[in-house]
A and B are shown apart, each in its own frame.
Chain A
Amino acid sequence: MIDLSINIELARTILTGFIRSEIMRAGFSRAVINLSGGLDSTLACYLTAEALGGENVLALRVPYSSSSVDSLDHAQMVIEALGLQSMTIPISEMTDPLFERFPEAGPVRRGNIMARLRMIVLYDQSEAFRGLPIGTGNKTEILLGYTTLFGDSACAINPLGDLYKTQVRQLARAIGVPGVILDKAPTADLWVGQTDEGELGFTYEEVDRLLYLLVDQRFSPEECVTTGFDEKFVRNVVERVRRNHFKRILPPIAKLSNRTVGYDFLYLRDWGT
């Protein structure tokens, strides 16, 4: 009943077509991506390079001093494999003054600061390179809100946002992403030893199956429990999805006039193109 397998060729056609179309219509022909060396940003690079040509993609390596050396090496593998343009911009010298000013800041604050500084670098290079920032967030992390608002979630277009993490893995494997990147534990790499699944408290495999029932198949939480999911796990995930909805929508505007952006001033971004 729960089958998350996807047709690779079809996904590839639609996603590369999407990237090409939406970048060209915005008046650009190039893209910028923060490439961590993890699975999501690697797949985003593969798809974008296929859509625009590797020479039109600028991959940014934006390490912090505690970032794993493996991540940098893996990012370099991707850059070389796809013939991307690249730049390495360490963020430590930008983050550390803020960390020193607020020594009491815990890992969440520090992680958010790092993610947002990477966003600043990404958007600055977007202007310099004349390329649009490509998002790398997948459906699992968007639904769970496992992302920093205005940080790693910031982008111009997002080709991966309707693929669950396990589907990202499937597509990445088929598209030729190197095995070392496919096989390592997913991590935001914001502090040493951090892993997504360790922090979330469940595996992507488990939660993707649950989210598929809740979101795609419109099962009620009770029906998910009847299907065999642990009740506490279901409640935890449902609550996480609800609590993090603010990260998925634009900030509400207080309505005063007869026509207000977001409510009754409605146009697609592709308006006129």
Chain B
Amino acid sequence: MKLNLALAQINTRLGNIDANLAKHLELIQEAQAREADLLIFPELSLTGYVLQDLATAVAHRPTADDPVFRPLLKASQDIDLVVGFVDEDRRNRFYIAAAYLSRGQVLHVHHKVYLPTYGLFDEGRFFAWGDGVQAFDTRFGRLGILICEDFWHASPPYLLWLDGAEMLLFASASPGRGLTAEPQLESARWVEHINRAYASLFTTFVVHANRVGFEDGLNFWGGSTAFDPNGELIVKAPYNEEALILAEIDLNQLHRTRARLPLLRDERTALVMREMRRILGE
């Protein structure tokens, strides 16, 4: 089975949902014209990243009667979408979230589990911590979504792998940092290394949509990628500029790679559980 994957490596307007939504709808049209099946937007693609006190003002609920999600759900009749937004739950907690939309339905919402609150980051001050990591079924197979810092930790991709995800969809708004003599920033090199590693270790597709542009002095470096279950690069967007990139994904590669390398088959989850209990002193 083939999947025409599209990554929307966009810049956003900080706190201006109308402008960002209009941009989403334009790119959805363009991706559709180029026959994409699934289009992935970066982290907080509808709002911008360093929201601080704007966080509560730009929150939406991913429902059919929401003015932002209504047109997106309509657009998802013809193309599956992953969009980034601030989710306000019924108890008025605010999450950094990504929603998977397909055929007019919200199939899955992921709340960012790891909120970096160190160095230049201050997410834990403004957002609630997500409390679940789950794969979900789509018309392209079982997928999993993580947001930026979620995949700086090894456990969320590991859990998605065990939960059956055949493709890990990572969405980021990664601020560039670590200028050295190398042609990429240290932050870019790190993310590329681990994404390739996850693809190899979990014999799964790993797709990363990162944003570009600036927010005050922060730059977002782009360089969105897709790796196949052998850890081979399928496609890569340019650094530091907007792009809509497409790649044909041959989902049968899972079968071939896992026939050669049965890491998933041999994973000893009972042993992991036993040792986790011991380590946690239970």
Contacts and interface: CB of A to CB of B under 8 A. Distances in A.
- A associates with B: yes
Interface of A: 3, 5-7, 9-11, 13-14, 17-18, 21-22, 162, 264-273
A9 B183 contact: yes
B53 A265 contact: yes
Given A162-B179, A269-B216, 18 more contacts: A3-B181, A6-B181, A9-B183, A10-B183, A11-B179, A14-B176, A14-B240, A18-B217, A162-B217, A267-B52, A268-B50, A268-B52, A270-B214, A271-B14, A271-B15, A271-B54, A273-B13, A273-B16
A131 B240 CA distance: 25
Nearest to B52: A266
Nearest to B49: A268
B78 interface: no
B216 A10 contact: no
Interface residues of B, number: 24
A35 B183 CA distance: 30
A173 to B, nearest CB: 14
B179 A21 contact: no
Interface of B: 13-16, 50, 52-54, 176, 179-185, 213-217, 219, 239-240
A135 to B, nearest CB: 11
Contacts of A265: 53
B214 A22 contact: yes
A270 B216 contact: yes
Contacts of A270: 14, 214-216
B14 A273 contact: yes
A246 B54 CA distance: 28
Interface secondary structure of B, over-half rule: loop
Nearest to A21: B214
Contact of A21 (B53, B184, B213): B213
**Which 3 pairs, one residue from A and one from B, show the smallest C-beta to C-beta distance?**
A266-B52, A21-B214, A5-B181
30 contacts: A7-B181, A7-B182, A13-B239, A13-B240, A14-B179, A17-B240, A18-B217, A22-B214, A22-B216, A162-B179, A162-B217, A264-B53, A265-B53, A266-B52, A266-B53, A267-B53, A268-B50, A268-B216, A269-B216, A270-B14, A270-B214, A270-B215, A270-B216, A271-B14, A271-B15, A272-B13, A272-B14, A272-B15, A272-B16, A273-B14
Contacts of A267: 52-54
A93 to B, nearest CB: 37
Nearest to B183: A7
Contacts of B182: 7
Contacts of B53: 264-267
A107 B99 CA distance: 62
B220 to A, nearest CB: 10
Contact of B219 (A5, A6, A7, A14): A14
A254 to B, nearest CB: 21
Kindly name the residue among A10, A11, A265, A266 whose own CB sees the greatest number of chain B CB atoms within 10 A: A10
Nearest to B213: A21
A28 B194 CA distance: 40
A48 to B, nearest CB: 15
Contact of A10 (B13, B179, B213, B214): B179
